[in-house]
A and B are shown apart, each in its own frame.
Chain A
Amino acid sequence: DAKTTQPNSMESNEEEPVHLPCNHSTISGTDYIHWYRQLPSQGPEYVIHGLTSNVNNRMASLAIAEDRKSSTLILHRATLRDAAVYYCILSFSGGGADGLTFGKGTHLIIQP
């Protein structure tokens, strides 16, 4: 099974961009990259997903390396409400219908 590696924690300042890295060197050609985040005392929340091309939505951007061995979740302007654990997850099939395999994620701390 392809695995992801994320830093345990990161700190950023409010109103600045945040780049959250994820390494997945054993990713297969059909694995999609998903990002979820979990705010304190809440269930995880979908952020974004992609396969090869960079993706943008109202929450964030996903930048995928050309060789797909790494990706970066970009929060364009962090707020205090973005403080959460961010999970980078690979789905083993073509989509996310299978259950997701979460790691420990990156604990993002936002300083005011």
Chain B
Amino acid sequence: EAGVVQSPRYKIIEKKQPVAFWCNPISGHNTLYWYLQNLGQGPELLIRYENEEAVDDSQLPKDRFSAERLKGVDSTLKIQPAELGDSAVYLCASSPDGWRQFFGPGTRLTVL
């Protein structure tokens, strides 16, 4: 079974530039999550989707962050414009049953 796929794995941008991360969950997993992980900390939830509906986006900084999951399968997380403090690892996870979450390898973002 293929795991959660994320791209790119690494991204370096200048501050104020836009950036986008892509996630393809495990086939058949209706629930998709985006997390942010700062160095030395545990992941923090940004948004949760059930199929194409964002059911929890309370932690998503909506002034600069946006996400979509148009067909209820893959998803894109965007930051515009990026700030220095956005440097982190962005993790995507999916779940088949609401009990176990399967995480991708993450995208490491560096904002200069």
A residues with CB within 8 A of B: 36, 41-46, 49, 87, 95-105
Contacts and interface: CB of A to CB of B under 8 A. Distances in A.
Interface stretch (B64-72, B79-87, B90-98): B90-98
B106 interface: yes
Interface of B: 4, 31, 33, 35, 40-45, 48, 56, 59, 91, 93, 95, 97-106
Given A46-B101, A97-B31, 11 more contacts: A41-B105, A42-B103, A43-B91, A44-B91, A44-B101, A45-B103, A96-B95, A96-B99, A97-B99, A102-B41, A102-B43
Nearest to A47: B100
Contacts of B93: 43-44
Nearest to B33: A99
B22 to A, nearest CB: 15
B98 A97 contact: yes
A96 B100 contact: yes
B40 A104 contact: yes
Given A42-B105, A97-B31, A49 B48 contact: no
